[in-house]
Structure 1
Amino acid sequence: MADLILHHYPMSPFAEKARLMLGFKGLSWRSVFIPSVMPKPDVVALTGGYRRTPLLQIGADIYCDTALIAEVLEHHRPEPALFPAHLKGLARVVSQWADTSLFWASMAYSLSPKGAAALFASQPPEAAQAFAADRGAMSSGMNRLRPGDAAGAYRSYLRRLAHMLHDQPYLLGEQPCVADFAAYHPLWFTRRMVPAMSGILEATPEVLAWLDRMHTLGHGSAQRLSSTEAIAVAAAATPEPVAGEHFQDDHGIALGSRVTVAAESFGTEPSEGILVAATRTRYTIAREDERAGRVHVHFPRIGYVLKEVRV
């Protein structure tokens, strides 16, 4: 099988979720660093528009969103399981909450004026300004928590996690599952990226001990790859066939139609291509790029909007 290539940057919390899942699975992977703010021409060459971090590339197949990346890694190496059979539904529900409600409370708290100043203290002022402008554009139209409201919500969520960890080492039992990785990364950002804001974690020692356990899973074995080399990998490969996958039509949009797929909120730049698969869990579009060649770009259904492009 082709190499696993993760497109990411070090301070991205969702990238940390993916890196730690790779470590949990004991996988080797190629590491491509991408910019934290636009422009991202090499990312867009692969996705056609989607610019959120991280991406997982396998040959000419591009997987967007860590919810889908988790599924792909589970298929690639089933054990140890991210989705234990007896916990699949609960693990997914907790993960979705952690990737949304917990994440946004954590970010609004951690990147309050004090936190943002600490995060960019060693960088020139224009770096902080560019980051703020970029994330402002990505969140246009979103209802964002104010720092005070976020702090209250974050404390409540941390107590809930502590209750889950009261008599067991991981959120849903004796072994980590996808719920742990989803809950870990926003707290990792607070603790590791903006330690000036990490005092909020001290009221929940069970959570701190769990963070330490999760940290020991590591990131697997990574080797650097340039974005130019990653694009060349895509250009030299052929997307995996999708023929025979079950078609679930919820939109009245036929396979073979020109469509866009975009996130429901935050980073809603659409990717455009030909709809080649719409299963019960994902959309797949085929697109052509002058550098990357023919690629298949995959998105989870939940959290994404499919629209037909009408001429």
Structure 2
Amino acid sequence: MTNLILHHYPTSPFSEKIRLVLGYKQLAWKSVIIPAIMPKPDVLALTGGYRKTPILQIGSDVYCDTALICDVLEHIQPTPALVPESHGGVARVLAQWADTTLFWAAMAYNLQPKGAASLFDGAPVEAAKAFGADRAAMSTGMTRLRPADATAAYKSYLRRITNMLDGQNFLMGSAPCVADFAVYHPLWFSRKRVPVMAGILDATPAVLHWMDRMEALGHGKMEKYTATESIAACVDSTRASAPFDQMFQDEHGIPLGSRVTIAAENFGQEPTEGELVAATRTRYTLRREDARAGTVHVHFPRIGYVLRAVQGT
């Protein structure tokens, strides 16, 4: 049985997306709680630079970005399926929209002063300031929606989601797919993490009923695990697993074996450096050495990430 180790924290919306996928597929997994903000020394020992949440670890393989994590879990446990056979492309495109456009509109709405105060209610003032500074550093150069614009957009998106649910229990039919999990998590943040802001959902009761159905999927079979144990599991892994698709697809003129960096296109642009050992149709894999974790293979999706050769190597 594959040992799935999810590095996450409770209030992370993207982590909730993956926790629900694990529940939908009834998978057993180990839970490593990580800090919400930097420093994250145990995370960086595994990723080499990438610091967004969550990451999925299987032995010495580390998977970054929830779009890729969903593909990995689909490969491990094909049923129930995340990607519908007849409308796979539509489901993936809708999920990408939800993880980007919908997410940023929802979060700009959620973290208005009233929502932020609710999120950090009872916490020291310094904690809220540190979180704000951390996220500002991650979003350098991004265009952020103003609250009024975000509110209007969020309301429109909720109405469109209602339209998608007309006559069916989930966005693309009688069963949830990858799009449902991607659409759900920013709305979950509104409803569960900043309930003072959840009134925006009341105008779309069909969305609330759908959210109840999604929540009922649960989180699978979770076992607590420590960061120390996860790093030891990486060291003890005999070898990294090969990517699903071995074919090399060169779009950059960078051969395998080159020293490269991979970083997100916008939010959280901290690069990971290593040896490029795979570049398939859908993903990149870097091999890197870490003093604590040993040899690690770090996997990224192509979409949303930038590959660059390290100069002078």
Query: SS at 2:87's partner residue?
Result: helix
Which residue number in structure 2 is paired with residue 250 of structure 1? 251
Instruction: Output aligned runs, 1:227-238, within 5 Å.
Output: 227-237=227-237, 238=239
Q: Quick one: distance in 2 between partners of 1:244 and 1:44?
A: 26
2:108 corresponds to 1:82: no
Q: Is the 8 A contact 2:106 2:186 kept in 1?
A: yes
2:129 corresponds to 1:129: yes
2:292 corresponds to 1:291: yes
Query: SS at 1:250's partner residue?
Result: coil
Q: Quick one: distance in 1 between partners of 2:286 and 2:75?
A: 20
Q: Is the 8 A contact 1:242 1:276 kept in 2?
A: no
Q: Is the 8 A contact 1:288 1:295 kept in 2?
A: yes
Tell me the CA shift for residue 121 of structure 1.
1.2
Q: Is the 8 A contact 1:25 1:220 kept in 2?
A: yes
Q: Which runs of 5+ in 2 are unaligned?
A: none
Which residue number in structure 2 is paired with residue 269 of structure 1? 270
Q: Quick one: distance in 2 between partners of 1:244 and 1:221?
A: 29
Which residue number in structure 1 is paired with residue 39 of structure 2? 39
Tell me the CA shift for residue 46 of structure 1.
0.2
Q: Quick one: distance in 2 between partners of 1:164 and 1:85?
A: 19
Q: Is the 8 A contact 2:245 2:280 kept in 1?
A: no
Aligned length: 311
Query: SS at 2:86's partner residue?
Result: helix
Instruction: Output aligned runs, 1:95-134, within 5 Å.
Output: 95-134=95-134
TM-score scaled by structure 2?
0.98
Query: SS at 2:219's partner residue?
Result: coil
Tell me the CA shift for residue 243 of structure 1.
10
TM-score scaled by structure 1?
0.99
Instruction: Output aligned runs, 1:1-80, within 5 Å.
Output: 1-80=1-80
Q: Quick one: distance in 1 between partners of 2:260 and 2:141?
A: 23
Letter in 1 for 2:287: A
Q: Quick one: distance in 1 between partners of 2:220 and 2:122?
A: 29
Runs of 4+ in 1 over 2 A off after TM superposition: 241-244
Q: Is the 8 A contact 2:245 2:281 kept in 1?
A: no
Q: Quick one: distance in 2 between partners of 1:38 and 1:109?
A: 24
Tell me the CA shift for residue 2 of structure 1.
3.5
Q: Quick one: distance in 1 between partners of 2:225 and 2:2?
A: 14
Q: Are the structure 2 counterparts of residues 243 and 215 from structure 1 closer, same or farther at C-alpha, using a change threshold of 3 Å?
A: closer
Letter in 2 for 1:168: Q
Aligned-residue RMSD, C-alpha: 0.9
Q: Quick one: distance in 1 between partners of 2:118 and 2:244?
A: 50
Q: Quick one: distance in 2 between partners of 1:265 and 1:42?
A: 23
Q: Are the structure 2 counterparts of residues 244 and 20 from structure 1 closer, same or farther at C-alpha, using a change threshold of 3 Å?
A: closer
Q: Quick one: distance in 1 between partners of 2:127 and 2:178?
A: 33
Query: SS at 1:213's partner residue?
Result: helix
Letter in 2 for 1:304: Y
Q: Quick one: distance in 2 between partners of 1:146 and 1:41?
A: 33
Instruction: Output aligned runs, 1:135-284, within 5 Å.
Output: 135-237=135-237, 238-241=239-242, 245-284=246-285
> 1:182-220: CA deviations, max 9, x gaps?
000000000000000000000000000000000000000
Tell me the CA shift for residue 244 of structure 1.
7.7
Q: Percent identity?
A: 65
Query: SS at 1:94's partner residue?
Result: helix
Letter in 1 for 2:198: S
Q: Quick one: distance in 2 between partners of 1:258 and 1:133?
A: 32
Q: Quick one: distance in 2 between partners of 1:198 and 1:305?
A: 35
Letter in 1 for 2:85: A
Letter in 2 for 1:281: T
Tell me the CA shift for residue 310 of structure 1.
1.2
Q: Are the structure 2 counterparts of residues 192 and 50 from structure 1 closer, same or farther at C-alpha, using a change threshold of 3 Å?
A: same
Query: SS at 2:202's partner residue?
Result: helix
Which residue number in structure 2 is paired with residue 302 of structure 1? 303
Q: Is the 8 A contact 1:8 1:54 kept in 2?
A: yes
